[in-house]
Amino acid sequence: MVDKVAGGSILEDSHTDKYLTSIQNRLKGGYEGFDYDIRTKPDLFYRPRVFIWLPDLLTGKKPNGLGKVHLKCPECKTANLERKEFVKKAKARRIIDQFDCFYLMSMNCPCVTEACKKTFSGYDQGLIKQFNVGQQRAFPAILTHKSGISKELSNTMRPLFQHGIGPHRLIKIIRIMHTQ
């Protein structure tokens, strides 16, 4: 049933077809990853996924095509913010996903105004709200006080809660998914 409804072939000359063909062409000469031989270090298998969020790279150019659009300080709303350095104290936020966890990293963005002098992390909601809706959707998580959950997990939680699977059962399901 699934094969009949969701399966089937990919439309020729579609965006997906071209993308998959480019991957196949790139890998024709051999696999670019690592091979399982004696030289492979085991720590390679324990590296977590990391999502690096650098919001100033998403701003693009000004409407006239000259110069770059800068993020504005969420506090004083006038000064431009510039990316300075990675957060040192809490290097990354752990984000719980459906099948594992990943880490969200960003850089500090200080305000350049003498009166304000506040520093914001790259995933501050005041910065994210400055983007258009499409760029806001690219942000992968819903943040809590110290960590967060992925948007994919959040989208899965809604129908589960609506159909009788409460938070205690969901925690058990997530734990099983993570250990598998």
Residues 5-14 pLDDT 10s: 444 556 777 8
The verdict on residue 8 lying in a domain is no
The verdict on residue 120 lying in a domain is yes
pLDDT at 32 over 70: no
First and final C-alpha spacing in the chain: 27
Beta pairing partners, 82: none
- The span from the CA of 78 to the CA of 73, in Å, is 6
Q: What's the token pair of residue 120?
A: 């914001």
The verdict on residue 159 lying in a domain is yes
Name the one residue in this structure whose structure tokens are 């006239």.
64
Q: What are phi and psi of 110, to 5 degrees?
A: -85, 150
The verdict on residue 37 lying in a domain is no
Q: In the chain, what percentage of residues exceed pLDDT 90? A: 24
Q: Which of 2-6, 26-30, 140-144, 155-159 has the lowest mean pLDDT?
A: 2-6
Please state the domain count of the chain: 1
| pTM, entire model | 0.72
Task: Give the tens place of pLDDT for each residue, 129-145.
Answer: 888 888 888 899 999 88
Q: What's the token pair of residue 152?
A: 């994919």
The verdict on residue 107 lying in a domain is yes
Q: Quick one: pLDDT band at residue 1, thresholds 50, 70, 90?
A: very low
The verdict on residue 163 lying in a domain is yes
Determine the structural domain holding residue 159 and report its residue range. 47-179
Torsion (CA) 67, 72, 73, 78 in degrees, nearest 10: 90
